[in-house]
Structure 1
């Protein structure tokens, strides 16, 4: 466990010390759209800070972390950032590299942000839905089993991962091509210190502000609360959070777990005594780094990751 944990701390410090744009520029990518819906958006190029925080997302894309020997599993990786920026440097990039080291093909999502000049605040949902369809369409090219495509999200990215996992059949955009005939349903979901509920008393997050603004009513808040969207088709779900999370209260994960149980969806919830929020692959001095090993064991229990892989 220590080897795994400290290797992730290395990934995190490495990406923070250098411009993550240089890392991502070396990786292949796929633009999500031929014609981006609900523009105009911010225009220009995506901006990546020295610490790997992405803003000004005018071109939503998938950054591909492809293993030398893929084992057939694919994961759409979604960083958090309150739907105001994308914390690729501390979340999406190291998580994708870890998955890659296991033979899992990771697709890191750079998604549009609601407050960057788009015609609708639902643009992140459009991008996540389109991304899952693109991955399934490209299954043969990347040696992926189309029945082993999952989604992993952190914080606001956990909200996006959980939300699209239950609302994958919702028409968030007008179909553009044959890709949009393909299922956007994930086969498994992981939510790490996620934002879940937009209802009081959990409506204090930046995600709430970005998605709903100041004048939302209870109906709008419930519509964007992940726990209210869980249904019989929601995939098996893994949850991990710290009990002392000051940004997204731990009640978010508890609400989600209870909703999954109410709908008889197989789920696993891990609560760490300490760690706060935004620990990515793990925070030194806490047990939060153990979530990766727990997640891998969970994949095995659910027949997604074979023991001999």
Structure 2
């Protein structure tokens, strides 16, 4: 990601948070925002888009040839860390509206945030949709590999995703044992399992009748087989190794059916996975952090209490 984009994106978020009266954390003078490459060279599988990253008017990005982690450092790190993934139907990634505000909020809680700019399935990657999971798994491993550098407790690393980013974080949590790529270095010897997952209005299933999302089109196309639809539906992978999940969705969501979160809630309970599901009557889709006047705007406070209950916040 070019430096000028990072500065512009950061300035936009700072102004937005100030207008919403959300606490903006001070950053280490020597660190500030640090960017880490996800892979030591070309990502696995080959292919991908040409040219530079593209930013639209909302601050969402696409044409991603080099996935990265952008590190948001709290003034007083607590040892906890969270991987953040914005949504966009796997066609773009909402950095300015979703990922950056979440990262600043996390940093204000003393949690080191890593914003993931991940590869998009429709951008000519030879490996197809699995590139998203490859980037999710690699990101958790890179975070663990840099634990000493950033003062991170390797047992307090989580994920937070919005919409399609919620699907990616959910799959990363539920499919941590799945080998999505062949190991390429010592980093890949580390665990890809997050210790907890916060999923905010996530896409959960791409199976009928909830197969109307852009996420479904991006992952499995217009005429998917039932096997492909099941493989990319999060609830089919929830099992004993899945970490605790925090789940938020509004009943008036026009993009992702609220039934999706209910499906995941039921799957977690059936697998005896700890799940905290907050269902709000009003909020729509894409409310992020601080972007709603309804009661759904309370979800960050609820998430903080949940993190405290898991001993992530100390």
TM-score (norm 1): 0.90
Give 2:36's match in structure 1, choosing from 30, 33, 44: 30
Secondary structure, counterpart of 1:72 in structure 2: coil
- Report what 2:157 is aligned to: 149
1:8 offset after TM fit, Å?
A: 9.4
Aligned residues: 289
- Does residue 161 (structure 1) correspond to residue 160 (structure 2)? The answer is no
Deviation at 1:9, TM superposition (A): 9.2
Q: Secondary structure at the match of 1:140?
A: helix
Give the equivalent residue in structure 2 for 1:47: 54
Task: State the TM-score, normalized to the length of structure 2.
Answer: 0.89
Unaligned runs of 5+ in 1: 1-6, 15-25
Partner of 1:96: 103
Partner of 1:3: none
User: By how many angstroms is 1:244 displaced?
Assistant: 0.6
Distance across 2 between alignment mates of 1:80 and 1:40: 23
Matched-pair contact (CA < 8 Å) for 1:76–1:108: yes
1:111–1:127 Cα contact (<8 Å) kept: yes
Spell out, residue by residue over 1:118-168, the C-alpha distance to the aligned partner (whole angstroms, 9 max, x if none). 112211111010000000111111000000000000000000111110111
SS of residue paired to 1:163 = helix
For the structure 1 residues 116 and 92, does the alpha-carbon distance in structure 2 shift closer, same or farther, using more than 3 Å as the test? Answer: same
Find 1:191's aligned residue among 184, 192, 199: 199
Distance change >3 Å, CA 9–CA 235, structure 1 → 2: farther
Q: 1:176-215 deviations in whole A, cap 9, x for unaligned? A: 1000010000000000000001111111100000000022
Structure 1 residues 1-21: Cα deviation after superposition (integer angstroms, max 9, x where no partner): xxxxxx99932979xxxxxxx
Bigger shift: residues 234-243 or 276-285: 276-285
Distance 2:297 2:117 in 1: 24
Please give the alpha-carbon distance, in whole angstroms, between the structure 1 residues aligned to 2:290 and 2:296: 5
CA distance in 2: counterparts of 1:8 and 1:225, whole angstroms? 35
Find the counterpart in structure 1 of residue 25 from structure 2. none
Q: CA RMSD in A?
A: 1.7
Q: Which residue of 2 aligns with 1:136?
A: 144
**Among residues 33, 52, 74, which one is paired with 1:67 in the alignment?**
74
SS of the equivalent of 1:117 reads coil
1:218 CA drift (Å): 1.2
What SS does the corresponding residue of 2:150 show, helix, strand or coil? Answer: coil
Residue in 1 that maps onto 2:302: 294
Partners in 1 of 2:195 and 2:151 — Cα distance? Answer: 16
* CA positional deviation for 1:50: 4.3
Counterpart Cα distance in 2 of 1:176 and 1:123 = 15
**Offset, 1:45:** 2.4
The superposition leaves residues 32-78 of structure 1 with CA deviations (integer Å, 9 ceiling, x where unpaired) of 11231122211232222343111100110000001121100000000
Per-residue deviation, 1:304? 1.5
In the superposition, relative to structure 1, how do residues 9 and 217 fare at CA in structure 2: closer, same or farther (>3 Å)? farther
